Amino acid sequence: MTSSYQVVWKGPVKTATGLGIASREYVKALKRQGVKIAIGAKRSRKNKISKKHRVLVYHHSPNTLNIKKERKYYKTIIINTVWETTRIPRRWIKPINQADAVCVPSLQNKQALRNSGIKIPIFIVPHGVHSQMFTPKKKWSYNNKKKKFTFISIFGFQHRKNPEALLKGYWKEFSARDNVRLIIKTNGNAPYENKHWIKKRIKAYKARLNLRKSTASLRIITRYLKSKSLRKLYAKGHAFVLPTRGEGVGLPYLESLASGTPVIATGWGGHMDFLTKKNSFLVQYKLQPPIIGMNRKSSISRPFRDLFAEKGQLWAEVDMNSLRGQMRKAYQNPLLCKMKGQRGRRDALKLSWNRAGIALKHAIEKTIKMKK
């Protein structure tokens, strides 16, 4: 049944980022639920849908929303956003509270908004994963000693993702004598943050660590991977590892679970809505102000201080011994990895984008009722 209202969606639907993927998938999920939707529609006098029945869903940074301007055209305004620390940026608070409702993808996000003084209704609208696209393909056989146990990590090369802990933990825990490898798929955030720049930063960091042993195999991929190649990479891994400092959701974790690959992850963040001890290896942590890690000489990637260095914000710093221990545990127990991977696959089958569309439609219609 087609909705009586129209949603105008303003978000990064054409970008290749995680936010862009989510924006596109939300739009498609709403359409499947029978919601009339327009992408960033230009205002026209020919539009037969009245202001009363038009809903704006704003999926850009909340501080860029001109509430006063949009109120002329939309009776209902909903912000859809995501965040990675215990408090949102101060400049987001006023525009969010001027909207009618806000949607976030995880419990951690909801708490961050409440911690920051958000008073309007908050709806949890989770992300999803295409389990028919990301599927298990690996063979869990270790009779052939030439086949290396493969850790996979996929992330943007920025401080929040904690590449320092990932590299240090791997280099300290494993040597060339271990039948193991780590494949990192990453990318920079600016044109100069290219393959050469990233590898140079990693090489310099390794030199500063003054490692006394020959380290285990490491491969860095910085080029763009098409969907097919990315799916193969997930399926190739025997464990996915990312000791992130903070995630609103963590799409690579979802994609890894769907691929039957167990996750080694920090035990705090939006991903804890779907990561458990049954499908993952959870790493211990302490909550700390982001500025502490940013000011360390060991930091090798862009910090985004303007977003994550405000007073009162906290995120997770992993315990290095716990990280190393979980990586070693995964490496030494391939059958445990297989069991966790199978459980992760079963869990991921329940986390569809259709589920997200149902939750978002519910949030929209409840907000419309509250405005009557």
Structure tokens at 320: 């290095």
Q: What is the pLDDT of residues 132-151, one digit of tens each?
A: 999 998 666 655 566 899 99
pLDDT for the residue 19: 92
Angle of helix 334-348 relative to helix 320-332, nearest 10 degrees, comes to 100
Report whether 320 contacts 283 (CB < 8 A): no
The pTM score is 0.94
The span from the CA of 80 to the CA of 363, in Å, is 11
Closest CA to 257 of 126, 140, 150, 134: 134
Q: What percent of the chain has pLDDT over 90?
A: 88
The span from the CA of 246 to the CA of 133, in Å, is 26
Q: What is the mean pLDDT of residues 254-271?
A: 97
The span from the CA of 295 to the CA of 178, in Å, is 33
* Burial of 177 from C-beta contacts in 10 A (0-12 / 13-18 / 19+): exposed
Residues 6+ apart with CB under 8 A from 339: none
pLDDT for the residue 5: 92
Number of CB atoms found within 10 A of residue 218's CB:
16
Q: What is the mean pLDDT of residues 94-104?
A: 98
At 117, the pLDDT band (50, 70, 90 cuts) reads very high
Task: Name the average pLDDT for the chain.
Answer: 94
pLDDT for the residue 221: 97
Q: What is the pLDDT of residues 1-27, one digit of tens each?
A: 678 899 999 999 999 888 999 999 999
Q: What is the mean pLDDT of residues 81-110?
A: 98
Report whether 240 contacts 140 (CB < 8 A): no
pLDDT for the residue 42: 61
Q: What is the mean pLDDT of residues 51-66?
A: 92
Residue 183 identity (one-letter amino acid): I
Residue 108's φ and ψ, nearest 5 degrees, are -60, -40
Residues 6+ apart with CB under 8 A from 347: 257, 274, 276, 279
At 48, the pLDDT band (50, 70, 90 cuts) reads low
pLDDT greater than 90 at residue 41: no
Q: What is the pLDDT of residues 191-249, one digit of tens each?
A: 999 999 999 999 999 999 999 779 999 999 999 999 899 999 999 999 999 999 999 99
pLDDT for the residue 212: 79
Q: Own/partner pairs for 113-116, CB < 8 Å, 24+ apart? A: 113/83, 113/88, 115/86, 115/87, 116/87, 116/88, 116/90, 116/92
Residues 6+ apart with CB under 8 A from 261: 136, 138, 152, 234, 235, 237, 238, 239, 240, 341, 344
Residue 3 identity (one-letter amino acid): S
One-character DSSP codes across 75-111? SEEEEE----SSS--HHHHHHHHHSSEEEESSHHHHH
Give me Rg for the CA atoms of the chain: 22
Per the DSSP assignment, residues forming a β-bridge with 211 are: none
pLDDT for the residue 351: 97
Q: What is the mean pLDDT of residues 68-82?
A: 95
